[in-house]
Structure 1
């Protein structure tokens, strides 16, 4: 034993050897850094790491990015919905927030911050999730986010076959029962959809529409939700297009809110005037999610493509006019903005298949201004006329705003409404002036009588102008007749 201890080197010898090895390693590292480029060093390091991890590591990692093949990844979105329900003691940090401006005392909702870890157990598998973010190389690109899912190598197939489908089905169930809806608007500077809580109280119960029309809309929405397999079997994208048209103030926006509340769909409100070109439009629309409503209001004012199409249809026989028209078409083709063909391609073209269970709603005050290509089925499947207030709509509004179903003034007001056009918005405005039904209804009658008097004055003024024009024309005819007689007399004399 004593001889064994004598063979052990002294501490000074060990420290000297360690110092020599450290100096040698630093020298080698310096030479490598000087002789081998950084990209080559990173490549070699990655290869060594992959080699050792493949043979000595028992873990496997899945990467789920927020974008997949030019569109938003539905898998990423499902994980975002699912993981906050699995937060436990292993999660060291938590993201909290409340975007409900109408209720600042509402409890905040949980979310996952970057680099947060969540441990999930599923059918005996231990699964570790981490949210990562990759900084964009260029300032005008947004940062890319992705999830890392770590599991044992032997569980890789079970994760794909059982665990990920479980996440998707759970997320779908959560989304179908979501209490809060969002209203999205597109931020062109940041190239992202920004959201706020959507809490419009409109419902089909409170809409001032004809009962038959409301029933047909609800029936069509229910049928749309139930026909996923049917749309797939006939080779069509699972979407539905609605056109709401009629005078201003007839409840088009309120109907959109009622549809969103009924379906529990988020709303993406797109202003086409701010979209730079068709390529930008495709990128914006493909970043919307499934189970959502795409709203394009005042479509007749949004595209100059309809005017371009109508201009190109005008025949021109003059060569100079052809030249002018060609130059005009060139200006239109290079002018920034969305073209009709670009919009149609997303609504009913190849890009329409990028997403499922979507409702596209267009609104306009002037249906006759729209290009016929927009109006055909497959693009705007259901056309809904939002007209002036009817007796049935009036009763619904009175019941909603005043809480009464009958009154002595009902008959008189209904007769007035059938003669004088008045919008539901105008009726509602008068009913909100006072909680006393008698005062509110009398105020409504005064407004309708005022509109009737104004109409009569306008008609009388118009008739007066017509009479004046006829008198002027008659005077001209008399003068021409006198000149003709004088000319004949001079001729015979």
Structure 2
């Protein structure tokens, strides 16, 4: 040990060597700075930094938040749909739930904190779902997905992987088994949903076959019409006005449209909208490929009513009658705000949207609200025809012909009954003969 210590250089020798090395480095640096141009030095420096970064920090992270600017982030929605099919043993946890006690109806989701491993083109990719805080006043949270990959795979992920996710999610969403219906929680400031299981289809609707086919063709053209709308400079949306007496099947038609398109429904109660700004915020939080439904719009807000009627009412009730004021300082929802939502600039914030208004009194609506160009399709839902009755008889009694049909056809020409009234009569028994006889008695009473 003493021998080894005796061979070590002295402190003065070490300091002298360090000084010589520092001087040499400074000299070389000075020479390089004078010889090598600044752009070349910056390039070398950046490449050296990248190399060291790749060596010491080889991972890269993508962050995908639930909201993007003022609207929902469709990339987040696509990732959520895609990863729900990739949950496996690597996840460590899974979110499950059901709207029934049938064990075969269990649905699975992604819980916050869950980690999912995905494989794509030889790359191993790690996903996790996180959440940023909670607002106690409005019960809001900001969720985000985090994708961790190798830095060397960053370009391939941007060019290929996200395109793969988008196309896969589109197929998943169009073929989803369960639709959802949303209602806006004004106090919580968010949409809340439930599983939508309405059984109505175009096959079961009590409507003239020609009218059904026309609506189906319009819907199919709309879904395929992205390029059509873009070339004509129009937002990718369409509007339906369903009007007619109560019980004529307006809600059933909405359900049939949702089941045909496989679109979720956002049921908006305009009474919960405090102002035009509030309406814009609510609508931009809906998703693409959805139906926005406003039922009984003539009763929902005075902003939709004919202004000539409002003027008469103002003379009786005062000036504040024009808008739905919730407080003296709140201007309320106005007709201008409603029109801007239908076909103004804000109507373009989203794609593949179907807007449906229903009303029992079309004559009470302001003409500006329903003029051509705002509501694309005007659908009158009238009283039950004989064709509609035959459809209901096939649905409820499983019969297409009966000797009593002739008498019923003659009576339906003289009596106005709604499809809802007909359905109620056909549900009284399982015996077709007794049901039809009872229905004839009902029509005779209604005629008299």
TM range (shorter): 0.7 to 0.9
Distance (Å, rounded) in 1 between the aligned partners of 2:114 and 2:4: 53
Q: Answer yes or no: is 1:205 the counterpart of 2:203.
A: yes
Q: Which residue of 1 aligns with 2:403?
A: 408
Q: Which residue of 2 aligns with 1:375?
A: 370
Once residues 326 and 105 of structure 1 are traced to their aligned partners in structure 2, the CA distance between those partners, rounded to angstroms, is 58
- Is the 2:238–2:355 contact (alpha carbons within 8 Å) kept by the matching residues of 1? yes
Report the counterpart of residue 294 of structure 1 in structure 2.
292
Deviations 1:61-93 (A, max 9, x none): 111100001100000000000112222332222
- Report the counterpart of residue 193 of structure 1 in structure 2: 191
Distance 2:421 2:323 in 1: 45
- Between the aligned partners of 2:139 and 2:329, the Cα distance in structure 1 is 25
Q: 1:166-198, CA deviations, whole angstroms, 9 ceiling, x for partnerless residues?
A: 111110011111111111112222222221111
Specify the alignment match of 1:89 in structure 2: 89
Which runs of structure 2 are paired with 1:346-425 in the superposition (5 Å)? Answer: 346-425=341-420
**Partner residue, 2:170:** 172
Larger helix proportion of the pair: 1
In the alignment, the residues of structure 2 paired with residue 68 and residue 390 of structure 1 have an alpha-carbon distance, to the nearest angstrom, of 49
Matches of 2:232 and 2:389 in 1, distance apart? 42
| More moved, 305-314 vs 87-96 | 305-314
- Counterpart position of 1:48: none
Equivalence map 1:450-465=2 (5 Å): 450-453=445-448
Pair 352,414 (structure 1): closer, same or farther in 2 beyond 3 Å:
same
Determine helix, strand or coil for the equivalent of 2:172.
Answer: helix
Mapped partners of 1:342, 1:334: distance in 2: 17
Q: Report deviation, 1:336.
A: 6.0
Matched, 1:443 2:441: no
Find the partner of 2:333 among 321, 335, 338.
338
Q: How many equivalent residue pairs? A: 401
Provide the C-alpha distance between the structure 2 equivalents of 1:172 and 1:385, rounded to a whole number of angstroms: 33
Per the alignment, residue 471 of structure 1 pairs with none
C-alpha change, 1:179 and 1:306, in structure 2 (3 Å) is closer
Check whether the contact 1:252–1:386 (CA below 8 A) recurs between aligned residues: yes
3-state SS in 2 of match to 1:247:
coil
Q: Which residue of the partner structure matches residue 303 of structure 2?
A: 305
1:110 CA displacement: 2.1
* Greater displacement, 167-176 / 118-127: 118-127
Task: Please tell me whether the aligned partners of residues 303 and 340 of structure 1 are also in contact (alpha carbons under 8 angstroms).
Answer: no
Deviates more, 1:350-359 or 1:107-116: 107-116
Offset at residue 108 of structure 1 (A): 2.2
Provide the C-alpha distance between the structure 1 equivalents of 2:321 and 2:205, rounded to a whole number of angstroms.
Answer: 46
Post-superposition offset of 1:140: 2.7
CA contact (8 A) 2:298 2:305 kept: no
Task: Check conservation: 1:308, 1:329, Cα contact below 8 A.
Answer: no
Name 2:31's counterpart in structure 1.
none
Deviation at 1:435, TM superposition (A): 1.3
Summarize the Cα distance change of 1:85–1:295 in structure 2 as closer, same or farther, 3 Å threshold.
same
Asked if the contact 1:397/1:428 (under 8 Å) is kept, the reply is yes
**After superposition, where does 1:85-164 map in structure 2 within 5 Å?**
85-98=85-98, 100-101=99-100, 104-136=102-134, 139-140=137-138, 142-164=140-162
How far the C-alpha of 1:53 sits from its partner, in A, is 6.6
In structure 2, the gaps of 5 or more residues are 8-51
Distance 1:348 1:54 in 2: 50
Could you tell me which runs of 5 or more consecutive residues in structure 1 were left unpaired when the two chains were aligned: 8-51, 454-493
Structure 1: distance between partners of 2:400 and 2:141: 57
Counterparts of 1:385 and 1:237, CA distance in 2? 25
Distance 2:309 2:395 in 1: 48
Indicate how the Cα distance of structure 1 residues 201 and 62 shifts in structure 2: closer, same or farther if over 3 A, else same: same
For 1:85, what is the secondary structure of its paired residue? coil
> Taking structure 1 as reference, are residues 452 and 217 closer, same or farther at Cα in structure 2, changes over 3 Å only?
same
In the alignment, the residues of structure 1 paired with residue 6 and residue 88 of structure 2 have an alpha-carbon distance, to the nearest angstrom, of 56
Q: Distance in 1 between matches of 2:322 and 2:403?
A: 62
Aligned residue in 2 for 1:236: 234
Larger Rg: 1
Rounded to whole Å, the distance in 1 between the matches of 2:382 and 2:359 is 12
8 Å CA contact 2:130–2:146 kept in 1: the answer is yes
Per-residue Cα deviation, 1:364-398 (whole angstroms, up to 9, x for no partner) = 00111111111123321100110001111111111
In structure 2, relative to structure 1, the CA distance for the partners of 1:395 and 1:76 (3 Å cut) is same
Q: State yes or no: 1:268 paired with 2:233.
A: no
* 2:421 counterpart of 1:426: yes
Q: CA deviation at 1:327?
A: 7.0
Deviates more, 1:226-235 or 1:80-89: 80-89
2:45 corresponds to: none
Deviates further, 276-285 or 302-311: 302-311
Change (3 A) 1:402 1:373: same
TM-score by length of 2: 0.83
Q: Secondary structure at the match of 1:438?
A: helix
